[in-house]
Amino acid sequence: MTKKIEIGLFEKLALKDWYKYLLYVSGILLILALFLDAKIDHLKIIRFSIQTIAICCFVWVIDTFSITGLYYYDLEREAREKPTEEQTAIIWVRFIIEILAFIAWLFVAYKSLL
């Protein structure tokens, strides 16, 4: 009888949103650009990383506030009731902000890295 031991570096890392992935990747990229000497333009990579971190933090804050609002409205609602107009509005605003932020990030990536 042998026990299987699994050690994973990222097994506790549970990211479910695209902006959290980009936040971690851009943070690692920023650290690498600051401390490693490579034959690339460091200023472009640093600018791209900082702009990506700013966009991701903005979306994270908006998402946190909208989830708080949804939680507030969800407490007032009975189980199996349709979502209220306020909940539907919050969901749509959150969706539109995330889409616009992703498009802004694509624009930043295009402008910074070319």
pTM, 2 dp:
0.69
Give CA angle at 35 (40, 113), nearest 5°: 30
Mean of the pLDDT values across residues 82-100? Answer: 82
CA distance 95 to 59: 11
| b/e 45-72 (16+ beta carbons within 10 angstroms → b) | bebbbebbbebbeebeebbeebeebbee
pLDDT at 73: 59
With cut-offs at 50, 70 and 90, classify the pLDDT of residue 3: low
Return the top range by mean pLDDT from 5-14, 20-29, 88-97.
Answer: 20-29
Per-residue model confidence (pLDDT) at position 53? 92
Q: How many CA atoms lie within 13 A of 9 on its CB side?
A: 0
Q: What pLDDT digit, counting tens, does each position of 5-23 carry?
A: 555 555 555 667 788 888 8
Predicted local confidence at residue 64, as pLDDT: 83
Instruction: Tell me the mean pLDDT in the region 26-52.
Output: 85
How far apart (Å, rounded) are the C-alpha atoms in residues 17 and 70? Answer: 17
Only one residue has tokens 């909940």, namely 87
Mean pLDDT of the chain: 78
